[in-house]
Structure 1
């Protein structure tokens, strides 16, 4: 049975783990914990020849590839931090925005070819395993700002007080929701965000014109017919 190919992201993690083993072996030799190179190599599960070469100053594979990359690590790290901030604020960055920021760095290199390769984004993500590319659902800014546990807890405490104070019965309590359909605009878009994030929403301007469907259900389980609202063609004075 043929072996499954290893992804670039897995290779990066393996390289990072290997570099930690090399670093620990060099530290043990420097501090005297290991007295010989063979002893340090065996303890940290690295090849003796590789450890000897590193002690002589040979560079790692990652360091050798830096000269082939469009951006240096010092330039890529601010892009990653910028992506993190946008994701935390509820505005995960689209692929093109990340590429535009990278191109701004390339323009400062004063080189003739100021462009990114077609696989640059894939390799950028593989060099930064804590980032991921996913499809996300658009979410209005007002909803993104309201997605706060403290705000929700305060709302339901206030609601409970109102129900008890006015004796509101289940049949008179309705939960209403609406679903908007932006005409000619995709509901899902591919963005760059933190790896492992479960809920993927991209905030957007909530003032666009759309077709809206409104549905409601009471706490007693009754459901009135849904309402569909279309954009008006003209306004009549009556």
Structure 2
């Protein structure tokens, strides 16, 4: 569960960004006016106007994964939530280590723009090469309010209402959209046997899901 303190801090950061934008676009006459309108401390607005970085930006330098690497994990969790195979804490930590070691393709929405920039501007901040510990997963979840930890109930895939025409059409539409968006060639696509996801699972387990989606079960192939 995401702490209320974390959510409140993110809300304050958003309001501070809005205040800075408002002052610079003349929506607010001064930092004091912006602070009063948005319920902020005037000195906080002034410091942000003078270039103080946000909490998120400050913490990024201390995080073990870069911003784009975390985006890659978020997309992966969302796709697994849709498919009914939401990851456990252990699997998320193992995949995160793979992403850190650059063994997985990292989602970079501005990759084309970066390729056109000088080499000196493409340098990413150095991320400490430290092993991920068990407490990394709860902190990752805390940084992303859309993630939730739930108790996934094991249900055989044949019993799930997942083979209807509407569900299958939605899956293939999402698949085609991803292929087009990422410009993935046919020779870079592979078929995977999902049975491996079920090895070592119990009747129920704690899973990490994207709360913006609706799913109740953790699908497992029937035996």
- Compute the TM-score of the two structures, normalised by the length of structure 2: 0.66
Contact 2:85 2:219 in 1 (8 A): yes
What is the number of equivalent residue pairs in this alignment? 169
Contact 2:2 2:141 in 1 (8 A): no
**CA deviation profile, 1:52-101 (whole Å, cap 9, x unmatched):** 11111111222111111111221111111111111111111122221111
Contact 1:94 1:191 in 2 (8 A): yes
Q: Which of these two proteins has the greater Rg computed from alpha carbons?
A: 1
Distance 1:28 1:185, change over 3 A: closer
Distance 1:188 1:197, change over 3 A: farther
1:112 to partner: Cα distance? 8.3
1:42 corresponds to which of 30, 36, 46? 36
1:132 to partner: Cα distance? 0.9
Alignment partner, residue 203 of structure 1: 219
Following TM superposition, the consecutive aligned residue runs of length 4 or more in structure 1 with deviations greater than 3 angstroms are 108-114, 145-151, 196-199
Alignment partner, residue 108 of structure 2: none
C-alpha separation in 2, matches of 1:34 and 1:54:
15
Alignment partner, residue 97 of structure 2: 103
C-alpha separation in 2, matches of 1:57 and 1:111:
23
- Structure 2, unmatched stretches of 5+, are 103-124, 168-199
Distance 1:202 1:66, change over 3 A: same
More strand by share: 1
- Compute the TM-score of the two structures, normalised by the length of structure 1: 0.63
* Greater RCO (Cα-Cα under 8 Å, separation 6 or more): 2
Report SS of the residue matched to 2:35.
helix
Contact 1:9 1:127 in 2 (8 A): no
Alignment partner, residue 174 of structure 2: none
